[in-house]
Amino acid sequence: MSITEQLVKFSTVEVPEEAAAMMRLSLFDWAACGIMGAAEPEFASFCQAQIIEDGPAHVFGGEALGAAQAALVNGTLSHALDYDDTHFAHIGHPSVAVLPAVMALAETLDTPLTEAIDAATIGVEASVMVGVWLGREHYQVGFHQTATAGAFGATLAAARLLGLDKVQRRHALGLCASMASGVKAQFGTMAKPLNAGLAARTGVEAAVWAQAGMTAAEDGLAGPLGFGETHHGEAAEVKLPRKDWQISTISHKFHACCHGLHAMLEALGGANVDPERIGAIKIRTHPRWMSVCNIPAPKTGLEVKFSYAHAAAMTLLGHGTGAIASFSDEIARDKDIIALREKIEVVEDESLSETQSLITLTLESGEVRRLRHDLMTPITLDARSAKLRSKVNALLGEGRAEALWQAAIGTDLDAVTDCFAGVE
């Protein structure tokens, strides 16, 4: 069965309770990232340019637009801080492509929140399936999986909300094959989050057009000269989920920095050591991260987000890494952090996976402590919820975070979008 046939079949399955519960956590996390993304001044002009006409779908910051335009804006803003969830199996950020499409269409159709959650869960799972099917070669040659695989996930989620039949779902995926795009050349620019917004808009448009009767190639995703064949897809084997869904291994960010640092920061969270007693620290990481987040002497807060040594020293000296404001230009110049940073060595270790970090901490007394963490280590929903609530408290403040939490676990979709209003 081709990947396209699997997706068409998968779009109408019943969503397990555990998968839907994880999706609600991602909704909570995604909305908080979007609310804060809307407060970024550099995106103000972009948002204003999208206000062409009013519509039923609310965007972060308080405006309401048509569904496709709202998906574009919310996808872009929710990825502006790069603080949203990740899935390592397909090297992408699933929620920022799927949830904006789902929420915009759900508001337009007056869909209950429970049905929106089910559609989003299907979409996220589908985006991971497509990402795995495309494989790492697709990513390595320069395509941005969040945008490419994410567009197909957004399309399938939108198709579910619209109640498309099998033929229409296949055409929607085929239309998506002509629109899905996004390249890694945009990393470090405003166009990287735009990639997510474009994927979300594609999902809405492809599904709506298919509903209106527009047709496409029989298999624009996996067929001859289709998306996979022309975009360096590996056509890796994938299977429909049964008991265990891929969304169960989604990775939420609990630190406002590059995801490559997170395993190290989680490991250091259990260090429990007086920084003045530290003689040396060796951080081992997967070779991939050495060229991504190993700036040895960052000069700005942004560079600190990509510095193993500086972020490690920050953590050991008690500076929180969950708040965006922690990564400031001032923290980059902190003399105590710089002094401790000089004791830290970062080395690559091919025996570690991309989600693992191993730390050897040597005290001046000669005592050696070893700390290790793997981001793929399962944590309970309750523990994950607690960590996400702490994160969102740091982002929005306790009052707004609690309101968003109650909305995300509730039954009223309007209660969620009521939280989209801008921060002061």
Q: For 55-85, how does the pLDDT look when each residue is reduced to its tens digit (9 = 90+)?
A: 899 999 988 999 999 999 999 999 999 899 9
Claim to verify: residue 229 and residue 328 sit in the same structural domain:
no
| Angle CA 206–86–245, to nearest 5 | 75
Claim to verify: residue 270 and residue 309 sit in the same structural domain:
yes
Number of domains in the chain: 2
Claim to verify: residue 287 and residue 368 sit in the same structural domain:
yes
Claim to verify: residue 80 and residue 225 sit in the same structural domain:
yes
Summarised one tens digit per residue, pLDDT across range 251-304 is 999 999 988 999 999 999 888 899 999 999 999 999 989 988 999 999 999 899
Considering only 107-111, 140-144, 159-163, which range has the smallest mean pLDDT? 140-144
Q: Is residue 422 predicted with pLDDT exceeding 80?
A: no
Mean pLDDT computed over 375-387: 93
pLDDT of residue 291: 85
Please answer whether residues 168 and 159 qualify as being in contact, where contact means their C-beta atoms are separated by less than 8 angstroms: yes
Claim to verify: residue 386 and residue 367 sit in the same structural domain:
no
Summarised one tens digit per residue, pLDDT across range 387-406 is 999 999 999 999 999 999 99
Percentage of the chain lying above the pLDDT 90 cut: 85
Claim to verify: residue 111 and residue 234 sit in the same structural domain:
yes
pLDDT of residue 188: 77
pLDDT of residue 421: 83
Which is more confidently placed, 378 or 216? 216
The backbone torsions φ and ψ at residue 380, rounded to the nearest 5 degrees and listed phi first, read -70, 160
Q: Is residue 159 predicted with pLDDT exceeding 90?
A: yes
Claim to verify: residue 244 and residue 226 sit in the same structural domain:
yes
Claim to verify: residue 133 and residue 278 sit in the same structural domain:
no
Residue keyed to tokens 């730390």: 359
Claim to verify: residue 269 and residue 164 sit in the same structural domain:
no
Claim to verify: residue 275 and residue 228 sit in the same structural domain:
no
Distance, in Å, from the CA atom of 282 to the CA atom of 290, rounded to the nearest integer, reads: 14
Q: What confidence tier does 90 reach under pLDDT thresholds 50, 70, 90? A: confident
Claim to verify: residue 315 and residue 173 sit in the same structural domain:
no
Give the gyration radius of the chain's Cα atoms.
21
pLDDT of residue 124: 98
Residues in the chain: 424
Q: Give a three-class secondary structure readout of the chain.
A: CCHHHHHHHHCCCCCCHHHHHHHHHHHHHHHHHHHHHCCCHHHHHHHHHHCCCEEEEECCECCEECHHHHHHHHHHHHCCCCCCCEECCCCECCHHHHHHHHHHHHHHHCCCHHHHHHHHHHHHHHHHHHHHHHHHHHHHCCECHHHHHHHHHHHHHHHHHHCCCHHHHHHHHHHHHHHCCCEHHHCCCCHHHHHHHHHHHHHHHHHHHHHCCCCCCCCCCCCCCCHHHHCCCCCCCCCCCCCCCHHHHCECCCCCCCHHHHHHHHHHCCCCCCHHHEEEEEEEECHHHHHCCECCCCCCHHHHCCEHHHHHHHHHCCCCCCCHHHCCHHHHCCHHHHHHHCCEEEEECCCCCCCEEEEEEEECCCCEEEEEEECCCCCCHHHHHHHHHHHHHHHHCHHHHHHHHHHHCCCCHHHHHHHHECCC
Beta-carbon contacts of 36 under 8 Å, excluding residues fewer than 6 positions away, are 81, 83, 324, 395, 396, 423
What mean pLDDT is reported for the chain? 94
pLDDT of residue 324: 87
Q: Is residue 189 predicted with pLDDT exceeding 90?
A: no
Residue keyed to tokens 């994160």: 391
CATH number at 293 reads 3.30.1330.120
Claim to verify: residue 74 and residue 217 sit in the same structural domain:
yes
Distance, in Å, from the CA atom of 121 to the CA atom of 354, rounded to the nearest integer, reads: 25
Summarised one tens digit per residue, pLDDT across range 305-354 is 999 999 999 999 999 898 888 999 999 999 999 999 999 999 999 999 99
CA distances from 44 to 76, 80, 97 (A): 12, 12, 20
Nearest partner of 30 among 130, 150, 134, judged by Cα: 150
Considering only 113-127, 181-195, 204-218, which range has the smallest mean pLDDT? 181-195
Longest dimension (CA), the chain: 74
HSE toward the beta carbon, residue 302, CA cutoff 13 A: 4
Q: Is residue 102 predicted with pLDDT exceeding 90?
A: yes
CATH number at 229 reads 1.10.4100.10
Domain range for 339 is 259-374
pLDDT of residue 292: 83
pLDDT of residue 423: 58
pLDDT of residue 424: 53
Which amino acid, one-letter code, is at 233?
G
